[in-house]
A and B are shown apart, each in its own frame.
Chain A
Amino acid sequence: MPTELWLGGALVAAFVLYALFGGADFGGGVWDLLASGPRKAEQRALIAKALGPVWEVNHVWLILGVVLLFSGFPRAFAALSVALHVPLTLLLLGIVFRGTAFTFRTYDARGDKVQRRWGLVFSVASMLSPALLGMCVGAVVSGDIRVQGLAVVSGFFSAWLSPFALAVGALALCLFAFLAAVYLTAETREPGLQEDFRRRALGAGVAVFLAALGVLVLAREGAPRVWAGLTGSPFALALHAATAVSAVLAFGLLLARRFWPARVAAAAQVGLIVVGWAASQYPYLVVPDLTLQDTSASTATQRALLVALAV
């Protein structure tokens, strides 16, 4: 297998891991914002406890993805950071505020007004970031980013503000919230809290289904290439069948209150969706002008990167 395929695979792996771990952290912030009912404070405490030791590690997968992209596929990175300059900048602001607000809140535990304000910043930033991330993904697959030579010729806004891209943003948000709620059911032994998050997971699951339907409908017009990829090859169909099975499974297990297996099924569902996204746009990195092959770095660099990754 040529080195650029291995690197492409590593890139997809980084995004899957980021969705599974970093995504759930974002989702935790969403539930922090939506905390309600008699156990409001306990819900927030559980979220903070689950996130505390891990969010920085989880964050590394995003950095890994960016580094792989700019050293393995430099031209694609350059094109994306020009075409998506605005949403990526906003995403950065979201990431900055989410991380710092969470840490400030945790390490300055006094329960005063300052601390509560940080909580609000943390949760709002947690909602905006995944939506922006989804919009960027939507723009990449839609085929609306056009590149000639080294220059981006499609402007700085239309690609990520198309209805299709917005729908992908909504899907990403729902998906991460769903994932977080399912994870949280297995983070506590307290039945009341488990019920809270089980109900939230089921609600978010329905939202995921609706958003996915919306993306599918809009894809026909908004992302013809993906539409063809989704419905065309047998491999893609198998992937989507597997995704559907794990989604149904996750739902069933939640209904049956089998929280640990539900967690695995939900993770599989999200992972498969990311892999499905990658498969449907292969061999393109930026549909329809840049492919994995023609943006790739020299073989020596790619080898060195793969060795560095293996370490």
Chain B
Amino acid sequence: MDLLYARAQMGLSLAFHIVFAAAGIALPLLMVLSDLKARRTGDADYEVLSRKLAKGTAILFAVGAVSGTVLSFELGLLWPAFMGTYGEVIGLPFALEGTAFFTEAVFLGIYLYGRERIPAGLHLFSGVMVALSGAASAFFVTLVNVFMNHPTGFTPTAGGPVDVDPVAAMFSPGWMHQTAHTLLACYQASAFAMAGIHAFVLLRHPGAAFHRKALSVALPLACVTALLQPLVGHQSAEHVAREQPMKLAAAEGLFETQRGVGLSLGGLPDVETGTTRYALEIPKALSLLAFSDPDAEVKGLKEFPRDEWPPVAKVHLAFQLMVGTGGAMALLAGVTLLLRWRRKAWPEGRRVLWGWLLCGPLGVVAMEAGWLVTEWGRQPWIVRGVMRTAEAVTPVQHLAAPFWTFTLVYLFLGAMVVFLLVRQVAGTLPGREPPEREVSHAH
């Protein structure tokens, strides 16, 4: 029972953190892009936008920083045996993340408080540094997850790891796809969210010039990432097929080893009967996608010991959700770019705006689903093949208490952030004073 609470608390903390992490990485880029646009066009609106984005970054960055602090303590509070044993193997990327974070915080301070006080060029430079170091810290921390999926750089013994090579551990196999996929996910999620917000305002106030400009800053990033992401995801899938066949089998809900396997869309895997029902199949597509050969053999779950199966249904659903939403976003991006190419301007028709509004939240959904795939797909291991999650959990009892406490805290903070950001956006509505509203407080 305590193991479940520990996993739930870790998962919740990460799911919460990654939203703010993604914003902390992507908003600085968008802010610098609108600074550049302001310089190029001399249009003051872009500078206002950059200020708004900087304010948003400050709020989200602070929440990202504190939730990240919680995570680094939770690694020990919840999984002391994992950190006690493998901390030395995988500490290096964490230390480098700290360095990157330090750089990010310093330059964000300069950027936020220096707008009027330092030369414009230097100000822009500090914005660029914020964007770069944010990306660097995401890169390093994702390497930890790569290691947990495919540990290298040490020799396991009964007494713990020996012959530790921290640099090899940091670049465990698959690091390129996974870091690229995660970074893209962060940009994509934030750009889609931003586009969704401005599309929403434009649908209600079609004349709002400010929001049209804001949309034109978000759309390029959103379209490019949405089109690249399936390609990188495909690389990831090929890697998983080769190196972690059990995870692929779970993601696809495939129980029997077969040749020329089809790709299932939807469906509900049932581990009792060993079948996936209600799925639509595209013949031979899985073999083709995973091994570039329509007749390739794909291993099914029954190939592996039953007690090492991940939670099949959950992994399958999360994977479907990620790929489905990813496909929808790529489609919208393709259509938008086509229209932009034909009309030489970003499209503003109501139908396209509706598309962006509806797809706005999907980036975050896909990002969360993706993490669930990689985490659930790794179960029951915390470090695949060498340490089980159940061996790693803390001996401290009554983990329900911190779990519920942090759940409440996250709900409350999430609600507050939304409230504050709504206030920020409301301040830009045409001809309207920001609405004064009361929130109810939990104290």
Residues of A at the B interface (CB closer than 8 Å) are 52-54, 56-57, 59-60, 62-64, 66-68, 70-72, 74-75, 77-82, 85, 88-89, 92-93, 95-97, 99-100, 102-104, 107-108, 112-114, 117, 121, 150-152, 156, 297-298, 300-301, 304-305, 308-309, 311
A65 CB to nearest chain B CB (Å): 10
In the complex, B165 has a CB within 8 A of chain A: yes
Q: A67-B98, A117-B441, A308-B96 are in contact. Are A72 and B91 (CB under 8 A)?
A: yes
Kindly state whether residue B324 has any CB partner on chain A within 8 Å: no
Q: Which residues of B contact A150 (CB under 8 A)?
A: 81, 84
| CB < 8 Å neighbour of B67 from A96, A298, A301 | A96
- Is B101 part of the contact surface with A, judged by Cβ < 8 Å? yes
Hey, which chain A residues are within 8 Å of B272, CB to CB? none
Give the chain A neighbours of B441 by CB distance below 8 A.
Answer: 114, 117
The proximity string for B residues 71-101 relative to A, scoring 1 for CB distances below 8 Å and 0 otherwise, is 0111111001101111111111011101101
Q: Are A78 and B59 in contact (CB under 8 A)?
A: no
For the complex, give the distance between the alpha carbons of A53 and B61 in Å: 13
Checking A56, A57, A82, A113 against B395 with a beta-carbon cut-off of 8 angstroms, the contacting residue is A82
Most buried by A among B61, B73, B95: B95
Q: Is the CB of B80 within 8 A of A305?
A: no
Which of B63, B96, B109, B409 is in CB contact (< 8 Å) with A93? B409
A118 — nearest CB in chain B belongs to which residue? B416
Let me know if B83 and A74 touch, CB within 8 A: yes
Q: Are the C-beta atoms of B166 and A304 separated by less than 8 Å?
A: yes
CB contacts (< 8 Å) of B86 on chain A: these are: 74
Q: Apart from A100-B63, A104-B59, what are 7 other A-B pairs with CB-CB below 8 Å?
A: A59-B69, A70-B87, A79-B80, A96-B70, A301-B88, A301-B166, A308-B99
Nearest 6 CB-CB pairs, A to B? A71-B91, A78-B84, A81-B76, A297-B88, A74-B87, A103-B62
Residue on B with the closest CB to A14?
Answer: B98
Q: How many residues of B contact A (CB 8 A)?
A: 63
Cα of A77 to Cα of B439 in the assembled complex, Å = 40
CB-defined contacts of A100 to chain B, threshold 8 Å: 62-63, 66, 413, 416
> Which residue, of A71, A72, A107, has the highest number of chain B Cβ atoms within 10 A?
A71
Determine the chain A residues whose CB is within 8 A of the CB of B63 once the complex forms: 99-100, 103
Assembled-state Cα–Cα distance A104/B412 (Å): 13
Query: Pick the contact of B83 from A70, A88, A104, A311 — CB < 8 Å?
Result: A70
A84, closest chain B residue (CB): B77
Q: Which residue of B lies closest to A102 (CB)?
A: B62
Enumerate chain A residues within 8 angstroms of B112, measured Cβ to Cβ.
53
Which residues does chain B contribute within 8 Å of A67, judged by CB atoms? Answer: 72, 91, 94-95, 98
CB of B274 within 8 A of chain A? no
| Cβ–Cβ < 8 Å partners of A82 in chain B | 80, 394-396
Determine the main DSSP class of B at the interface with A.
helix
Q: Residue B65 contacts which of A52, A56, A85, A108 (CB distance < 8 angstroms)? A: A56
Contacts known (A82-B395, A117-B443); A56 close to B105, Cβ less than 8 A: yes
| A80 / chain B contacts, CB cutoff of 8 Å | 76
What residues of chain A lie closer than 8 Å to B115, measured between beta carbons? none
Task: Say whether B420 faces chain A, with CB atoms less than 8 Å apart.
Answer: yes
- Shortest Cβ distance from B91 into A: residue: A71
Q: Is the CB of B88 within 8 A of A298?
A: yes
Determine the chain B residues whose CB is within 8 A of the CB of A77 once the complex forms: 76, 80, 83-84, 87
> For A152, what are the chain B residues with a Cβ–Cβ distance below 8 Å?
395
B338 part of interface (Cβ distance < 8 Å): no
Q: For B416, what are the chain A residues with a Cβ–Cβ distance below 8 Å? A: 100, 104
Q: What residues of A have a CB within 8 angstroms of the CB of B282 in the complex?
A: none
A88–B59 alpha-carbon span in the complex (Å): 25
CB closest residue in chain A, given B92 = A304
> 12 A-B pairs, CB-CB below 8 angstroms?
A53-B112, A56-B65, A63-B98, A67-B72, A74-B88, A77-B83, A81-B83, A100-B66, A103-B63, A156-B396, A305-B95, A305-B166
Contacts of A52 in B (CB 8 A): 113
B167 within 8 A of A: yes
Contact B96 A104 (CB under 8 A): no
Given A57-B109, A59-B65, do A297 and B394 touch, yes or no (CB 8 Å)?
Answer: no
Tell me the complex Cα distance, A152–B395, Å.
Answer: 9
**B88 and A71 form a contact (CB under 8 A):** yes
The answer to whether residues A64 and B84 also contact, given A56-B105, A70-B75, A77-B76 and a CB cut-off of 8 A, is no
Contact among A53, A92, A305 for B69, CB-based, below 8 A: A92
Contact B95 A81 (CB under 8 A): no
CB pair B436–A60 under 8 Å, yes or no, is no
Cβ of B405 < 8 Å from any Cβ of A?
yes
B428-443 residues with Cβ-Cβ distance < 8 A to A are 436, 438-439, 441, 443
> Does B143 reach chain A (CB closer than 8 Å)?
no
